[in-house]
Amino acid sequence: MIPAANISLLWPELPYLDRFEAAAAAGFTAVEVLFPYDTAAKETLRACTANGLELILMNAPPPNYTGGQRGFAAVPDLAVRFRSDVTRAYRFAEALNVRFLHIMTGEASGEQAYQTFVDNLIWAAQRAPKGLTLTIEPLNPVAMPGYFLNDYALARRVLAAVAMPNVALQYDSYHAQMIHGDAVAVYDDYADIIAHVQIGDAPERTTPGSGTVDFKRLFARIADSGYTGWISGEYHPGPKTEDSLNWMKML
């Protein structure tokens, strides 16, 4: 298990490009950026390279600056826009050598939304750049009211229907705890389809160890499962990010 830093949340007091240096100084070798679209890809790549970092994950679609919802992969009337925006996201992902692209569903419900999501994922997976894995992540209704993918059982159903080798589950301890009440049990139940792990404590997405998630038990179960990928800190760190990184010593 390898620690990674989500620098969209960590070091919030620093300018975006300065966060890469801070992450490297803290001992990270990999980072996530949720929405890197506002900065030229070459500048982000330069910051990674200068600090010996790999950018492993970003989100799709790009932000909606008109104030609309984040994501629409499950919204039946927006399939054309989904394909256009995913194509743009692929250009960024290739330029940044990203490993994982999280596909956001948007607000929707029902069987038509389910089928739209499955169809869009198949379309996207068939056109994804080589080496890129598309991930789907259940988000809890407190943080994201109305979000279509709000349950891990639904995520398994979607992945079974898509049945593509480059589409997998993104697990987040904060969301798992908020949705199902036991992040460790959720990991155990879905370890076979998890490609990437993120951590944050519940109920406020705070520093690991500050809330209701049993991280000692969770990390032990992740290790026992044979997972050897990244464990990415995606949480609100408090006044000083460096003081929130004790979880790295537990891996």
pLDDT score recorded for residue 61: 82
Catalytic residue among 13, 137, 204, 242: 137
Catalytic residue check, 94: no
Catalytic residue flag (residue 242): no
Q: Is the dihedral of CA 88, 94, 95, 97 positive or negative?
A: positive
Quote the pLDDT of residue 62.
Answer: 73
Instruction: Please give the pLDDT value at position 64.
Output: 64
Supply the pTM of this predicted model: 0.94
> Residue 230: helix, strand or coil by DSSP?
strand
Cα radius of gyration rounded to whole Å, the chain: 17
Q: Mean pLDDT of successive 10-residue segments in the chain (251 residues)?
A: 96 97 98 94 97 97 66 90 92 96 95 97 97 97 94 98 98 98 97 98 97 97 96 96 95 89
Written in H, E and C, the secondary structure of 164-190 is CCCEEEEEEHHHHHHHHCCHHHHHHHH
Give the whole-angstrom CA distance, residue 174 versus residue 139.
9
Tell me, rounded to whole angstroms, the distance of Cα 114 from its chain centroid. 20
> CB burial class (10 A; 0-12, 13-18, 19+) of residue 75?
buried
From 13, 32, 234, 242, active-site residue: 234
Domains and CATH numbers, the chain: 2-250 (3.20.20.150)
Q: For residues 9 and 57, what is the distance between their CA atoms, to the nearest angstrom?
A: 13
